[in-house]
């Protein structure tokens, strides 16, 4: 059996891609190859569950365009497939005077990205939206929503099966060789043959990319763990919807925030600390070869030099619940350490180039026999149908 397309990775991006391909061309033979015993086990299953509006991203960037297009497609998908979601809106809150210009810039950017209804609000209005939140200035973003991306990804998977695609769990891709225009994809169980490979391997996308083309040596995935606390049930009243801080412009993550989850509960986090293993969800999980590779990567050394101060703060908050609570108290002063219980963690796949740039935008690279999704961090879950549509279009050109 020679498949037309093998998609490596059963996360939300790989599944969205498979679904989009089959929607346009049901005759294409697809295999989704996933190493775990279930779909969406990694980034997709451990994220904040926010349907991002497109507020933060540079106008015209792939993040901005795919987030906004993906947002609308996702909402429509949830409606037709009856997947529970909610458009809750969110507030972004400056807690210190010096953050006010940053908040103003953020608002400008949101408006440039076409977010109608996003506006500066008074402190009285802030109290109406979030009665327990403290700030010196705030904006309200009405478009933001919440959903359980695990459920969304499983629904994409079901669509693939309905359209005749195949999904193989427990098949870890180990090696790819090309002969006579066919990719021979060796996995832990069997060898697949496919005309085109689409790599959506998330935390291992750089490794899989190198299996498709050994010359792809200019990016490395740096894993950043994001740890969460949860509000105790009896304290959930402190957060009505979503409360975000003004992001630190010197750091590529959004800062710890409060999120009401669609599956229930309120999460506080995530922070961002270097994971000592790509799928290292606990501080104790270390993979020496993976860690050594990260530390030796010239780009990482430059990132560490650039962000060491913020990085140490994040690390300190990772080990000290008191320090984590203090960061949260900036937004909700009455929160106490005893109001928080452990909430698990997710690991972000963040691509880093050799010269020390954390890739800010989504990155998709095409070669003769493969399409590699090399960087799909947040808001890739929100954007999944748009990214999937773009990759599907690229893929189908190979079969025109
Ligand atoms: C803490 C956190 C919070 C986030 N919050 C949000 C949010 O609120 N909103 C939002 O839009 N985005 C958010 N994101 C980002 C979003 O979750 C990711 O961008 C998205 O899930 C990426 O999907 P993916 O399919 O590329 O990766 P993944 O979901 O990681 O899937 C990749 C898959 O590839 C498989 N794989 C890897 N190597 C191999 C191999 N060799 N063989 C076979 N299979 C392999 C893995 O097992 C995995 O299932 C967040 C991410 C994190 C970590």
Per-residue pLDDT band for 248 (boundaries 50, 70, 90) equals confident
9 Cβ below 6 A of ligand 1: yes
388 Cβ below 6 A of ligand 1: no
- Distance, in Å, from the CA atom of 287 to the CA atom of 273, rounded to the nearest integer, reads 15
Q: What is the pLDDT of residue 309?
A: 80
pLDDT in tens, 87-144: 999 999 999 999 999 999 999 999 999 999 999 999 999 999 999 999 999 999 999 9
> Smallest Cα–Cα separation from 188: which of 327, 333, 34, 332?
34
Looking at the CA of residue 174, tell me the nearest atom of ligand 1. 41
54 Cβ below 6 A of ligand 1: no
Q: What is the pLDDT of residue 43?
A: 98
Residue of the CA atom closest to atom 41 of ligand 1:
173
- Distance, in Å, from the CA atom of 50 to the CA atom of 54, rounded to the nearest integer, reads 11
Please give the average per-residue pLDDT across 5-14, as a whole number: 98
Looking at the CA of residue 14, tell me the nearest atom of ligand 1. 25
Looking at the CA of residue 187, tell me the nearest atom of ligand 1. 42
Buried b (16+ CB within 10 A) or exposed e, 170-189: ebebeebeeeeeebebbbee
Q: How far is the CA of 62 from the centre of ligand 1 (A)?
A: 18
110 Cβ below 6 A of ligand 1: no
Q: What DSSP element (H or E) covers 147?
A: strand 145-147
In the chain, how long is the greatest CA-to-CA distance? 68
Looking at the CA of residue 44, tell me the nearest atom of ligand 1. 21
What is the average pLDDT score of the chain?
Answer: 95
**313 pLDDT more than 90:** no
Q: What is the pLDDT of residue 111?
A: 96
**196 pLDDT more than 90:** yes
Q: How far is the CA of 376 from the centre of ligand 1 (A)?
A: 8
**pTM value?**
0.97
Per-residue pLDDT band for 79 (boundaries 50, 70, 90) equals very high
């Amino acid at each position: 059996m020679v498949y037309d397309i093998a998609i490596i990775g059963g996360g939300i991006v790989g599944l969205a891609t498979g679904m989009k391909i089959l929607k346009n061309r049901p005759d294409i033979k697809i295999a989704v190859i996933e190493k775990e015993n279930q779909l969406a086990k990694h980034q997709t299953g451990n994220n904040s569950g926010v349907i991002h509006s497109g507020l933060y991203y540079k106008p015209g960037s792939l993040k901005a365009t795919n987030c906004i297009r993906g947002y609308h497609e996702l909402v429509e998908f949830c409606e037709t497939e009856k997947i529970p979601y909610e458009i809750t809106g969110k507030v972004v809150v400056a807690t210190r005077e010096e953050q006010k210009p940053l908040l103003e810039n953020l608002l400008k950017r949101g408006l440039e990205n076409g977010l109608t209804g996003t506006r500066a609000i008074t402190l009285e209005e802030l109290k109406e939206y979030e009665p327990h939140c403290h700030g010196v200035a705030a904006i309200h973003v009405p478009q933001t929503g919440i959903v359980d991306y695990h459920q969304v990804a499983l629904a994409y998977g079901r669509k693939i099966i309905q359209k005749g695609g195949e999904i193989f769990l427990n098949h870890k891709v180990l090696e790819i060789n090309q002969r006579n225009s066919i990719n021979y994809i060796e996995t832990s169980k069997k060898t697949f043959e496919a005309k085109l490979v689409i790599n959506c391997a998330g935390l291992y996308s750089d490794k899989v990319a190198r299996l498709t083309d050994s010359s792809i040596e200019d990016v490395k995935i740096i894993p950043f763990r994001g740890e969460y606390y949860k509000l105790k049930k009896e304290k959930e009243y402190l957060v009505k919807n979503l409360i975000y801080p003004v992001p630190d412009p010197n750091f590529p993550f959004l800062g710890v925030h409060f999120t009401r989850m669609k599956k229930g509960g309120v999460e506080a986090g995530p922070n961002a600390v270097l994971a000592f293993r790509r799928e290292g969800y606990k501080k104790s999980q270390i993979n020496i070869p993976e860690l050594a590779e990260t530390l030796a990567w010239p780009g990482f050394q430059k990132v560490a030099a650039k962000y060491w101060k913020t990085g140490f703060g994040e690390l300190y908050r990772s080990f000290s619940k008191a320090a984590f609570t203090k960061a949260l108290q900036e937004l909700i002063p009455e929160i106490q350490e005893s109001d928080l219980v452990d909430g698990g963690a997710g690991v972000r796949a963040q691509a880093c180039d050799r010269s020390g740039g954390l890739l800010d935008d989504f990155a998709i690279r095409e070669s003769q026999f493969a399409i590699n999704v090399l960087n799909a961090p947040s808001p890739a879950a929100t954007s999944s149908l748009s990214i999937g549509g773009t990759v599907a279009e690229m893929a189908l050109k190979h079969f025109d």
